[in-house]
Chains A and B, each alone.
Chain A
């Protein structure tokens, strides 16, 4: 398996609280991605990073922010969690070269009550 670790693996929290999910890689890959997976929607891109401090929005970025201060870590923050953000969140990484596949972590199951 690609060296990707997501933490925590499971989290239950309350509406309005801040939440931070962490993705850690040991592959030294340039690209890192955050997706959410919901039934009927497949995988939807939240944000991605193409280098340290270089990030861009995906199709469902509202309510989420990201940071990447080191190559190996990509953080996803929900500033004020809402029930609509209950989902399974996946981190993915990709090598520098184009046309290469993404490799995924095993996900974080987040429940917001």
Chain B
């Protein structure tokens, strides 16, 4: 079964708008939540990550919001740009674990 559920599958946003991608998990043992960005023909690249001891982490235009009680986390892209058009994956892992569990991905298109 899918350990991490991601939505939406695809997203179209106007330039300058806010892109929001959501993920949910069930395993309360997860304690590390990275987001990856993937461009066509390339491998996923780490974008930003969060641990459950904080509710929000911001790096430039990218922010992760984390709701531990709801077991949900989301990626917000402020002032979205055409260059942000890519596929985004959320993931989760246990600090002492070997495996990462990925969401199914969100294809983001930012329209100029």
Contacts and interface: CB of A to CB of B under 8 A. Distances in A.
Interface of A: 4, 31, 33, 40-45, 48, 50, 56, 58, 90, 92, 98-99, 101-107
A98 B96 contact: yes
Contacts of B31: 99
A42 B34 CA distance: 15
A48 B98 contact: yes
A101 B50 CA distance: 11
Interface residues of B, number: 27
Contact of A58 (B32, B45, B99, B105): B99
20 contacts: A4-B43, A31-B98, A33-B100, A42-B6, A42-B104, A43-B89, A44-B102, A48-B98, A48-B99, A90-B44, A92-B43, A98-B94, A98-B95, A99-B51, A99-B95, A101-B34, A101-B49, A102-B100, A106-B42, A106-B43
Contact of B44 (A44, A45, A104): A104
A107 B39 CA distance: 12
Contact of B105 (A42, A50, A56, A101): A42
Interface of B: 6, 9, 31-32, 34, 36, 41-46, 49, 51, 89, 93-100, 102-105
Contacts of B95: 98-99
Nearest to A49: B98
Q: Which 5 A-B pairs have the closest CB atoms?
A: A104-B43, A42-B104, A43-B102, A99-B95, A98-B95
For the residues of A in contact with B, the DSSP-based class is: strand
B51 A43 contact: no
B97 A98 contact: yes
A44 B102 CA distance: 7
A57 B51 CA distance: 26
Nearest to B51: A99
A36 to B, nearest CB: 11
Nearest to A4: B43
A41 to B, nearest CB: 6
